[in-house]
Each structure stands twice: as structure tokens, then as C-alpha cells.
Amino acid sequence: MSYMPVIPNTGLAGWQFLQRTYDAQFEAFNTSSQLQREADYFTDNIGDIQSAEDLVADRRLLKVALGAYGLQDDIDNRYFIQKILSDGVGSDDALANKLSDERYARLSEAFGFGPGETATTGLAGKMADVVQLYRTQSFEVSVGEQDDTMRVALYAQRELTELAEKDVSEETKWFTLMGLAPLRSMFETALGLPSAFGQIDIDQQLEVLQDKTAAITGDDSVSQFSDPENLEKLTTHYLARSQIAGLNAANSSGANALALLQSVGY
């Protein structure tokens, strides 16, 4: 039986507990026999893979490859994933470069199967990085099975810090953030943006995100999130708004149930 992360509370209290116990819980999770078997199989066999077709043909290898980038739900979309991998990322016409979700480009780049690219499957260090990402993402998925807001918050601690420290323009950082579905979801919730926000012009979205972020932290840059204090401010807003939304939904559901009971004479 695999280890299940412990989250005794929702909202900020649960987040604080998870932060305090993260290292111990992550280690316990990663000692599970099933996860270790998956990691070992990938490490032992990925070096024999020479093409995108080879990779998607081995479901056990594909599970780790997709899981490392948070794309595990695409495990049965073999043709789509093969196209992502075989196109690479070197051309504007590559499928991964046409998708709004940046994770597909990261997946494709990690294996180097595209035209003019060099396959990385024989590079032990590169593949060890994929395995470590798989371990991390698997733990976050397990956390999310109990509380999805905690999963998104963990993802942000890792991805947003890394993005903040990249040597690219602020505009590029913002557009990258908007292309990472979990980060985008976190910001939209933390900033109180409506569900239809993603339908407006992309440049308008950028402006709104910058303005509303500055209202919380005093800074409209992505780079600011290399500072743990600013990252924690954003995370606090996200968790608080998520908890309020959950309570409102529960109260609304309760009110609807009461009205239904009253309507039938109880």
C-alpha cells in the first residue's frame, strides 16, 4: 500500500502543516514500492528508446514521461503525444508550439525527438531529471487527491520560483505563466478574476494580471516571486479565496437542499 500524504485541515492551516512536514512526507511517499518500481523501470529501459514511436509504444515508460510534466491524463492519447514528441520544438509549426499549454513543449524538448534535435534518452543525467520530476509531480497529484488547492500551491512553489529566476524578459515570463495551466488557475483565483477572463484579448489579460498582482504585492513583475515573502502573499490570497469559494458552494448547496425539503413538506 502506497503512502498517502496527510493534510489535516483545509485552507491556510492545512498549507502551513504541509509546509512544515513536506520533506518527511515526500520521503515517505517516495519509498513506496510501486513508485520505486516505476522509476527503476524507466531508468533501466529509457536508454533503448530512439524515437517518439518507441516511447509511446511502452506504456510504463510513457507513464513516467507524461507524469513528469503533469500530463498523465494524456496516457491514452498516444497519437497526439507521438506527434508532440516527433515534431520537436524547433519549428513554429511544431504542434507543441501551437498549444497554449507550455507543458507540452517542455515534454517534447526533454526528449529531443524532433527534426534536427538530438535524442536525450541515452543521457543518464537528463533522464534522472525526468525521474525526479515524476516523483515530485506524483506526490503533488497524491496531495491533490485530498485537496486540489494544495496541489496547485505546491506546484507554484516550484514552478513560479524557477520561472521568476529565468533570464528572459518580464513579458516572456508572464506569457509563459499564462501557458502553464496550474499557475494560470492559481493567479486567476488569487486575483479574483472571473471564469471568462481567458476569453479576452491576450494583451489585455497580461495588463490585468500585472495590475492586480501589483495591488497585492506592490510589484507587477514575475521576477518578484523569487522572493519567498511575495510568493507567500500570493499563495495566501489563493488559499483564502479558494476556501471562501468552497464555503460559499457548501452553503449554497445546503440552502438548495433545505428548499427542496421544504418544497416536499418536510
Please write the tens of the pLDDT for every residue from 233-250.
Answer: 999 999 999 988 777 655
pLDDT at 251: 57
DSSP 224-235: GGGSHHHHHHHH
Decide: 24 and 51 in contact? Cβ < 8 Å.
Answer: no
pLDDT at 248: 66
Name the nearest CA neighbour of 112 among 140, 90, 135: 90
Decide: 213 and 191 in contact? Cβ < 8 Å.
Answer: yes
- The size of the chain, in residues, is 266
Residue segments in the chain with a per-residue pLDDT below the cut of 70: 1, 248-266
11-144: in CATH 3.30.2290.10: no
pLDDT at 243: 86
Decide: 48 and 75 in contact? Cβ < 8 Å.
Answer: no
The pTM assigned to this predicted structure is: 0.84
pLDDT at 252: 54
CA distance linking residue 74 with residue 84, whole number of Å: 11
Decide: 137 and 123 in contact? Cβ < 8 Å.
Answer: no
| Sequence spans of domains, the chain | 11-144, 168-263
**CB-CB neighbours of 144 under 10 Å:** 17
**CB-CB neighbours of 254 under 10 Å:** 10
